[in-house]
Structure 1
């Protein structure tokens, strides 16, 4: 094929949308906005949006750099935290779009958030295909260094393209920049890119895709191509989530996306930020894909998780459900008027992919792998509903779930032969969100489950209600975890039965639990093997494929290809037998986490690995590569970092119950609805507020949440600063409205933290008259000249507030400053100091960085080697360096609140030894530990664990300090 003939000389070729598509959209969105000018050039996206956001993600700008960069209103970027800087960049882009283009930002959002655009079909193109096409377009020898790097982008080594290893788009940039068709940014507009991407999504074969990509290459420089490829792969990773973009675009944008999963609706129905969604438009609707609630990431301790799930002693029950290994699925059902008594169904996955084609649109759908069995699955009176659950594969022969990877295969097989008794899809329902025209998301989980039980008539092996177990403590969870381990299940989900359904949110009301939370398994145990993770069929399969191919490991002449994997010359993890990759089999393994290890070539190892199944459909070439493993590790770590910025919902919440029209289904009646509106009271009675922004610190609250808090505590809300006398203006960042008020110079702007502190103080002083807190410097976003002296007088000489209770962190900071700047004689009132520190410790015990003086409080520690050397020391002999190290560790434990015992007690939590302890000594200690039947086994660690804990001011994982 002649590539030159693919490229138009003037501009990127595009096809206009079909007339029928445009007319359909006009009918569906009659009030959609229209742009008055053409869209911005594509290069403006990465120059003014993607690149600046990526720079913040890589490394926040230093003070010197920040001083040279001013915000939109002259504010120094040094005064903005990373979140504020991201919002500032996005606000400027959106403001420019509205001014220069118009109110229809959908063309830009399709490229900014490509993974949220459900209206454009998947391209069906992965990195390997793009690499092959670029090699053809640029006429590169596939065996050259650049050709090899494009086609083998995951491989590390000399030909890995420098720092671009594992970053395919970066690798493409590296290659294209050596031979670009353009060196300057092109004139391709965002609208033209969208039109061409629509063509690419419709192309199904490489010979159709190749000229489209060549057309892009002809009109774009290397950096434009880099971002285009990231858009095609839907892997932007610019450091800003869709929530940030939605929040800046419109206060109701996130809510609308949560209930509709439609980026188009968010852009077209919410183009005016001053027009809010009506109350009836804020809930989920039939046949519109919502964004489901997700389970919160697991916490540090099981006790802490349970405390979050049972906030009151009046109702301490929480629920335990098995975590299913399937695909999250939502089912919508409504009457079908074309068929007598008919029903119409639709299915969507968690990622909003429509699976109706697979599972069926009605009971008479001959291609429906599930709905044909649902004729009698609903109670009388049920007309419409929305169900949330998990689609799994069920193996009727073994009466057990089959591996997740077989789900689509089982569904297709069920379509072709519904009478075969093979593996089939099973929909396990665990929630109902909509029933007979009513949104149930605000009702409690307990009430929703009652409605579900009354609505559904299970079809065994096809359509079932997922069971749950009630619990009140840790014992039930640990018993359930033992079952999980025995059945090789995914884990557990703990749920709060008093909670509403939270769309598109991870929340403490649902929390994952993995088997590694079982406290009994803190140490290695000497056990007898009576069974393994392989069943007879797996074992026979492995023997069949590997028999006669195993080679004995020779330590003197190890195989050169694998010596590094065995730990190098030291051969820490050398096997007794080894096998060539091409002769081996592929195992699917689950693990709790990735741990650092010096025993392996790549410095990493899996923690708590567990065999899942054999992958006979894969060979050694298609197994997980090192780069894929590193990418997976990086993605998990990124998710963990992002969750650290989630809202702190640990505060005890008050549930407001309102009378609702009874929920009626098959004789069921419920009148309790959950809608958390925050702590209520009358502290703000008679006061007027103008809330301009959300809250960023100390906890994040959206603007609507802040308004609701003000309202439920007696305040009145206005949308301008002049609507009522003495209106209090609230802002946490510099928006256009905030900047305008600040410019006037005669109105104070108060941070949302003052509102939160007032509510917090009145919760502490419950029963006392409501008093407003004095304004402090930390509460002020902008202070007028006349107010400055009064506000500074609200703190004492140590910066301690006169009007409110200080937080743990504030007390710690005050004490540190006092010790630095003032001579304090602690002996004058040593008892008071101890009481104060004890109180701080009680409040901070669950937090990292607790006071060092109580770092080891609650631990009981034994030093068996010191007990055996006491007599020698008393005789005046020189104390060896290792023993001296143990003495120092013992003193550290005592100083930091721990308890030291001479011999093993039932309460002993840790046994400390020297790193160079002899084998007989450690064996003797282990025997003593193993004889402690019926008690929890203490951690056996070296003194280095105490030293590192003290240095880092936190308790570290003991597993890293067990190298004796």
Structure 2
């Protein structure tokens, strides 16, 4: 077992991969996909693997240099685990375009449309939603009957595609794909496509495939996340891995938590004590340290050392924690959660705040690692030691540094009530939940059955708010859900006039879980006659999606024909993918609502109000344990809150009882301070408001004078969307306090202006914020110029520029000659009834000249085109252009390059009629 190999790159000797044809592997997958029952599928897989091993042993006996394992086949059987090929950059749509180009299909041909619109309902006979089966239909009459490539050759091509795509060498990618197309049968290409998109759909999980290969394969992969290493080290099926090899800088999947309920903890723990920890809402991160070198890995094995730092002078975290380790610590592996920390407010961010702490820069936040376990210390693996011993060791490893690296706090508990109290505290503090851990649990990588339990509000019935939303769109399913809508786009209503039904709906979330296949089939059957294909060029006017259609459904449905669904989720988070500006985290369908009408769904205002009041969290109740029935029948009881949820301490306002009033300057004015700066914090601003006679609230209402903010954070964005309040920069208030006198607002002081204040500004200020009545300072003038540069440029169009040129430079400037013209450059020619794009067209240079003289060029023959420029050497498409022109209300001219030359020489636009080709 001492061979070091990668058979796809080794020339040391023959390999099984170079002897076995790819067609045999595809035949295996075809057979497995048509077989029913997991055990039968695994038996077929086992026969193939046993033959591979026998063939390898025979080769090894004949040629001692042979060094090869099952890795070549395994990386094709479980393609989503092959990290070396993450850079394909190819999905179904890109594959469709490549196939159309390589097969020289007409861009409007039926087969091209099948490939590009593989999810469309009209393709249902070809398994709608499954690109590979649609591609097979298109390819079956265009490919050889039998392929000639071996598994090794296919792997070489796939490696070439990944490498060249990452290097932006598109021509080499095309060459590799062309080689595969011309040497494979259609059935082989079907399975190849599924390997490329990393979805085989044969009904065998990765755990099943790995267990067939070797009983220790899955556990060993969970430790090292290296498929090649698993296949090489476990080449012989009778060799067992008795000790898990954890080592520094080798990523592994950390230990995970199983779902738990507060009323079951005593039973699970057998009445013994257990630890409770806060469940952090961050990014799971494992820190590896070897002397002065560091590496950071996520739960899935992705490395973020470049962000956090490989040594003490690198990154945004390592320089701050390098000196906190005790001198005796040479090597260690620490398990924890990376969270964003705000050093000004001394609070931690959550994912609901739309933060990604893995990014190099996070405005106002710094990474902080909460460490809750240790896996290795100075070459000694600690996984087999109980949790209590590991935590004792962990406390000796480093000194915590505020806001950089902290030791997770835990408390010992024993009863169900202890667990319920801890969960209620987490709900009150807007935390994600709690972790419950067995004191004697050992550390088992990538398992949920090791004695750790996560308890979250959404796991306890009755604790979560439920939302009734309307289904407005559908997404075609794949695999066992193919042929029907498996995921749904849901929306909420724009509040209608009183007594009227809503007419406009804003997209809010996408949901695809929580229901059984039977429930899904029944729901599909109910709506089947009402689905309409979504046309992005002509979208429905009553269903408003986010700008750019970031969540575009395959089909849509008239709201009046649709149904409500009741959804539960962990929280409402900020999102640009939906028109509401927010969406749900971890949504799932509770039930399809047949008892409510379509127009009774929630409104946009309902969602924003719920989000603002709860800080995004949707836990609306408390859990209570009923102790009256005795220890044998302890049950949880869920009761609704009697009072509104209260804010956590860090969000509460200052205590006004001890503040002395010094002025009446702000008498009668109510303020809401959202956030502050490092020099003038939120509590300081609130204290000053009270000192100067004003009042403060934590949520603005109808009597609120204005909202004060230093920066546009998530909450400020939500208030802007409501368009009800004047949101003023905190520096304006600071100027009032420093001067001891009231300073009226100016447009430059505003983050957002209410409609009423906007009308007032229009009387006293011009569109750039320059006052009609007050003298302007140098600083104010600079701000006005900045606004002119930013705002005014968007209002100037080509016609305005042409008029200005004509007015001020009627004779001197020829460079606006084509300023009012919009050109479509026709770079296509017709060969054997097929339209082909010309890469190096003779019109390329002329296109640059048109733009030099002020013209606009476009690649699409849109409604604004005024001139179509064709190559006089090939006029085959002119009749097609003329037919198109006859169908348009706004006509365009068809000209050759001679017209352009004439215009430039004459210095004015010449008549197009004499230059139109016949």
**TM-score under structure 2 normalisation?**
0.50
Larger radius of gyration: 2
Bigger proportion of residues as strand: 2
